[in-house]
Amino acid sequence: MKKIEQILEHNIVNDFDERLTPNEIRDILKADLEILNKSNPYTCIVNQKEIKIYVKQITYLGHPHLAFKKRIQISRGWQIGLKEENAYLMGVYKYKETILYAIFDKKNFVTRVTNNSSAHVSTFDLLNAQQKGIFTKKDIRGNVITCVRKDLIKIVFSKIVSNESVLCQEILLFENFKLSLNSIYHGIECYTELISNNYRNKFQPEWFGFFIEFKFEKFLEENSNYKSICWYQSKKSKNDIDLDLNFNNKFLGDLKTHSNESSAILGNNIKNINMALEKYGKLWYIVFNHNTFRDSENNFEVTIFWNEQQKKDNLMSYSKKMKNRIELTDFMILEINEYNKKYLSVFNQGINSNKLPREPKIKIDKKMINNFLIYSSKF
């Protein structure tokens, strides 16, 4: 056996998994839910409706996986029962006095033989539930996972059975912003829109990242009710934290664009990350992932347009790096906090023109995404 991440009160410690017997799992459920039978799947009454809950213990995914990766193992034949509308798939996590539940999206399990199948959850997800009471995320496969503290499991099942959303208002804001965007953007069209609006970053060579910032600022102006949830703060003094999104002074964040060709998501410099964590305890990255089409493969049309608009003599300036168009595939919300920051990597930027070293930045490797992921949504 291996010591892995466990949740003790509101902290993470390293220890072995506890192993629960079926009777111990049933006793945990009976303490928090109105259970009518003695065996798995358990019949339960919620909102005066009878539901069935297929339950397994949440344990470590197993060697050689990282210590934050956990799962439930789904029994053979469960896909038949899970097809019923009133059936739910749930995991129970226990470590000492900590008891948490994870309600898994069942849609990916009802269409395949479930022998040796697993539903995954991370320490990060469970810790969020322990700290906040309820934590809902959509993972990179589109699966919705709701992690719940034991005292709130009745309330959450009541919402789920009634088809009420359990997503927080900050996530719903960005889901609505996503709906305002197109899936494909062309460089000339974006530069034209930025120039016509005299946007402060209208001539930046990496146009798409600044275009997303422009669209989000415009979205907030057109939907002012969202400004009580999040606002864009572009004007900062030298000593301020260089993160552009302010979530009602509760925490900060930043918009990022990321090419699917890259193996890691680049973030801000380490100094800013540490300042944000020290002051607020967490920060968010809103990451828009995209496929990239190079201008060099499209007659350099964006390059020429960009240089002509600035009245440059060299119309091929930046031609090797210029994007012609992008195709949005999905967006993710990533949270960095004191508990998962150890899974960040360092990206050294080299030196400035004055030969002094640049501040190193953080990066999030793709294999670590699930330990930061709060929400994912496809275009």
Per-residue pLDDT tens over the stretch 245-262: 999 999 999 999 999 999
Query: Cα–Cα distance between 17 and 6 in angstroms, integer?
Result: 8
Q: Which residues contact 145 (CB under 8 A, 6 or more apart)?
A: 102, 103, 104, 105, 121, 125, 136, 137, 138, 139
Q: What is the pLDDT of residue 351?
A: 65
Q: What is the pLDDT of residue 350?
A: 66
Q: What is the pLDDT of residue 354?
A: 64
Q: pTM to 2 decimals?
A: 0.82
47 lies in the same domain as 15: yes
pLDDT tens, per residue, the chain with 379 residues: 789 999 998 889 999 999 999 999 999 999 999 999 989 999 999 888 899 999 999 999 998 888 899 999 988 888 889 999 999 999 999 999 999 999 998 887 777 655 558 899 999 899 999 998 999 888 777 788 999 999 999 999 988 888 877 778 999 999 999 999 999 999 999 999 999 999 999 999 999 999 999 999 999 999 999 999 999 987 666 678 889 999 999 999 999 999 999 989 999 999 999 999 999 999 999 999 999 999 999 999 999 999 999 999 999 999 999 999 999 999 999 999 998 999 999 988 766 666 666 788 999 998 888 889 988 889 9
Q: What is the pLDDT of residue 47?
A: 85
- 131 lies in which domain range? 4-166
Dihedral sign for Cα atoms in the order 69, 75, 76, 80: negative
Q: What is the pLDDT of residue 20?
A: 96
240 lies in the same domain as 109: no
97 lies in the same domain as 177: no
336 lies in the same domain as 366: yes
Q: Answer with the one of 141, 166, 191 that is the final residue of a domain.
A: 166
Tell me which amino acid residue 178 is: K
Q: How far is CA 52 from CA 81, 134, 281, 329, 345, in A?
A: 9, 21, 38, 35, 43
Query: To 10 degrees, what angle do helices 207-222 and 169-179 make?
Result: 110
Query: Cα–Cα distance between 56 and 48 in angstroms, integer?
Result: 25
Query: Cα–Cα distance between 27 and 292 in angstroms, integer?
Result: 53
Query: Cα–Cα distance between 228 and 322 in angstroms, integer?
Result: 37
245 lies in the same domain as 117: no
185 lies in the same domain as 133: no
- As given in the structure block, the two tokens for residue 66 are 């990282």
204 lies in the same domain as 332: yes
Q: What is the pLDDT of residue 187?
A: 98
Q: Which residue has the tokens 């004055």?
A: 354
Query: Cα–Cα distance between 235 and 31 in angstroms, integer?
Result: 52
202 lies in the same domain as 341: yes
Comparing CA positions, the residue from 237, 256, 236, 254 lying closest to residue 245 is 254
Q: What is the pLDDT of residue 109?
A: 77
Q: Answer with the one of 128, 143, 166 that is the final residue of a domain.
A: 166
Backbone angles phi, psi at 290, to 5 degrees: -150, 155
Q: What is the pLDDT of residue 166?
A: 75
Q: What is the pLDDT of residue 116?
A: 55
Q: Which residue has the tokens 């949005």?
A: 328
| Ramachandran sector of residue 3 (left: φ over 0; alpha: ψ -120 to 50; beta: rest) | beta
53 lies in the same domain as 157: yes
226 lies in the same domain as 356: yes
- As given in the structure block, the two tokens for residue 120 are 């995954």
Q: What is the pLDDT of residue 90?
A: 96
214 lies in the same domain as 346: yes
Residue 207, Cβ density class (10 Å: 0-12 exposed, 13-18 middle, ≥19 buried): buried
Query: Cα–Cα distance between 181 and 308 in angstroms, integer?
Result: 27
Q: What is the pLDDT of residue 66?
A: 85
Residue 269's Cα: distance from chain center in Å?
Answer: 20
Q: How many domains are contained in the chain?
A: 2
Q: Answer with the one of 113, 137, 166 that is the final residue of a domain.
A: 166
Dihedral sign for Cα atoms in the order 308, 313, 319, 321: negative
Q: What is the pLDDT of residue 334?
A: 95
224 lies in the same domain as 244: yes
